[in-house]
Chain A
């Protein structure tokens, strides 16, 4: 096994990097892959919370780097998936406790152990971001259909191009098809037109994502959730499968039926 190292980043904070990592990792593990997640947000960790593993942390990534434990000891096994692991960030240190070459070394050691290594990048374009992309084979840029988020994503794409990290792939998160229809939100076309990078998935706005994150149970495990379906599709595409994009307009909710019946848009 030689793992593919995938870094999830965005520039702007709060667009759903951590949620994306937790969901993609869970979906990949559900497909039978061995997955290791690394939380790169030293000092502001929360991937452990979203994955519901907070109370199992004994050692973290800084302990590994500073030699207080072995890499295996810092790998926390997921509650439901025996093939899913998390290496948590340290909460009491800052980004300078890790260097890009530390990340390269850790990923090199982990590569033979897994199919996928997912790295959750912190917001920003400083040290933490550089650490997160140092070992990446592939970079996923997450953005929301908001002008500020797209602007920051553009900056990040520019840096990735300058550092010759290959072509980043785009996840457009929290798209609301109804707002787009009424011209109240940037459409997927608007975002792609500006960023000019390849799209790997559109995740519709879905409140079950927030509920899942708060419960420490990623939404991807919910069969009915549309956001969960979108994340499952992205995970399939990461495995090289050709999955058609979901039709976001076709919705089955009661409200939509009423809207259709009354002819309201």
Chain B
């Protein structure tokens, strides 16, 4: 048992507790975490827990199960930090935070270097209300972006579908970023620090591209082929 509990380290941070895992299969890691909590129930009562799972790839079922088990122990899971994009997406789907207030500077540098113009996060489904996708590069969505969904990309955003939610391209200040969609009737678009309030929904939607024009204003225009 001692061996297994050593797989997880728990320490206090400003926003509650942070559990950091040593590389191992997820089953062992989650057992280790629950064992630590059961050992010191009084300490963990009502705690807010963040987890740093490292490169672990977690599916929705994994996180849901752990979250339910934690909530039975009166511990609320609010954030999951991971290097794996799959795990990040999973946590975002479940409405968990993927960043905590204390930034991890060495990793941020790494990820900034890792982004090239060619890399993109590929999302192959409709984004429903309450979904928030953040990515430090380009984002491609095949599906709709429904009202109440948010996409935040440091690069460009391309949506093969209808946009009715909020899209922020060039979120770190890149004014050359653009947003393309088959139907761009978004209720808000942002590029860098420019904001355009709702575009009128069109009766006969056509593909459009939104960018910052020569006068420094965000505008959308029809996409012309050829």
Q: In the complex, what residue of chain A is closest to B146 when comparing beta carbons? A: A154
Contact residues in B for A127 (Cβ distance below 8 Å): 71
Contact assessment for A158 and B72 in the assembled complex, using a CB-CB cutoff below 8 Å: no
Residue of chain A at shortest CB distance from B92:
A162
| B60→A130 contact, CB < 8 A | no
Please pick, from B128, B146, B164, the residue contacting A161 in the complex, using a CB distance under 8 A.
Answer: B128
A163 to B59, CA, bound (A): 10
Q: Nearest Cβ distance between residue B48 and chain A, in whole angstroms?
A: 15
* Inter-chain contact B60/A159, CB cutoff 8 Å: no
Question: Residue-by-residue, is B59-71 near A (CB-CB < 8 Å gives 1, otherwise 0)?
Answer: 0110010001001
Instruction: Please name all residues of chain A whose beta carbon is closer than 8 Å to the beta carbon of B126 when the two chains form the complex.
Output: 196
**How distant is B29 from chain A, measured CB to nearest CB, in Å?**
21
Choice from A125, A151, A157, A163 contacting B64 with Cβ under 8 Å: A163
Interface of chain B, main secondary structure: loop
- Give the residues in chain A near B95, CB-CB below 8 Å: 159
Report the Cα distance A130→B94, complex, angstroms. Answer: 12
Given that A99-B71, A101-B72 are known contacts, is A152 also in contact with B60, CB under 8 Å in the complex?
no
CA distance A158 to B127 in the complex (A): 8
Q: Chain A residues with Cβ under 8 A from B129's Cβ?
A: 151-152, 154-155, 158
Q: B residues touching A (Cβ–Cβ < 8 Å)?
A: 60-61, 64, 68, 71-72, 90, 93-95, 125-131, 144, 146-148, 164
> Can you list 23 contacts pairing A with B, beta carbon distance less than 8 Å?
A99-B71, A99-B72, A100-B68, A100-B71, A134-B68, A152-B129, A154-B128, A154-B130, A154-B146, A155-B128, A155-B129, A155-B148, A158-B93, A158-B127, A158-B129, A158-B130, A158-B131, A162-B60, A162-B93, A194-B146, A194-B164, A196-B126, A196-B144
